[in-house]
Amino acid sequence: MRRIVFVGLGDVEVVRRVLSDLLLAPELRGELEIVLHDADPGLLATAEALVKSLDAEADGRASIVAAPDRRRALDGAAFVVADVDVGGFEATLKDFEIPHRYGLRQTIGDTIGIGGIFRGLRSIPVFVELGREMARRCPQAWLLSVSDPMAMTGLAVQLGTDFTRFAGSCHAVCDTHIYLADLVGRELEEVEFRTAGLNHQSFVLSFEAGGRSLYPDLDEALAGDDEHVRVEIYRRFGYFPTQSSEHAAEYFPWFMRHQGETSRLNVQAEEYLRRSGQSLHRYEETRRALSAGRSLLVRWQHQEPASVALLAMLTGRPKEVYVNVANDGLIANLPREACVEVPARVDASGIHPERIGELPIQLVALNRTFLNVVELTVRAVLTGERRHVLHAAMVDPNTAATLPLPAIEAMCGELIAAHGDLLPEGIRR
């Protein structure tokens, strides 16, 4: 049996979608051992009940184990799927409420920005510890992360552990490809894409059908659209970005501090708090559905990259999947140690990222600004240097455009105190 370990079970929808795909695969019937781990006993019990329900409905005949001890869960693992959200909704609320008092507006706050920095400070230690444990207990396993901030945790595993088989999995690229194909009236299967960059800041480098660029068709389709950040970025920089306008607005200095721009471009401040509330609602709905014996198996086709990658490796049927991995020259004009997002061939032998070459220089400039915040946050955790938290905030585009230096320092100090034991000891000192 192939042992698949899920670490972090707060997002029941991710567990539901990924495992529905695996349990419905006929060739995997009776071949899977699914091990569930979370430090929260309530989440663990709900996830166990959910997976047993999915398995029974799919006739997957999997072995299902709830494991409170993470180290034992990892023994013999072939794959580890990590979905880490340290502190949950309460921590996220602090990431928004405290900056809001200083006049700093955010939309999603999970990647860079103040919210991304502090989510990173909470998440990076978990991934470093997980990488070190996997290097000892299951060095040949793949660690598939579906957690934000992905560029930070991927870099941290690379710099802070001896574990190398890390790949981040995010739906932003495939969602963008579907969106663009639909905009120009094409079936997804007839369009060829080549996309690369960083998680939540990749760009569609090639968008073609029949050997012809579809960017002119896109220009025509977007002719009347002056109300979205990602369209504004596309027009200014020449390549369509993969992340939603809500995400993208806070990665640049030009939007969130200007009320006129956020109104013009329909940017909803504090959007992530609404989404987090929806996630809590889905969790309660799942519990009610389980109590009522209602079906939760996902039978319709969807684009969940983590399950596409797992199925390719488990069945040996090759697939192209966009992954976040150590650069090591994949994108020639970004730092070698950066965690970059590129297409990869995934098959029974593993994940094989594609070399992209050089990105257009204007895109590299945007990525480098993003990476400044990523590296400083990771270094803050790995070295215990509290001052690097301030450095990350000071060079963050949205924060730097909005607040003076004394306010940034005061805000970071208040956030560090508010998060307390959720942060590494070196940062708290």
Would you please indicate which residues are annotated as catalytic (active-site) residues? 171
Whether 25 contacts 54, CB under 8 Å: no
DSSP 358: P
H or E stretch including 212? Answer: strand 212-213
Give the integer Cα–Cα distance in Å for 380 and 160.
Answer: 12
Whether 283 contacts 13, CB under 8 Å: no
How many other C-beta atoms lie within 10 A of the C-beta of residue 159? Answer: 15
Angle value at C-alpha 194, between 345 and 319, nearest 5 degrees: 25
DSSP3 helix / strand / coil % (the chain, rounded to 5):
55, 15, 30
Give the integer Cα–Cα distance in Å for 372 and 104.
Answer: 20
In one-letter notation, the amino acid at residue 324 is: N
H or E stretch including 342? Answer: strand 339-347
Which tokens hold the place of 223? Answer: 């002719």
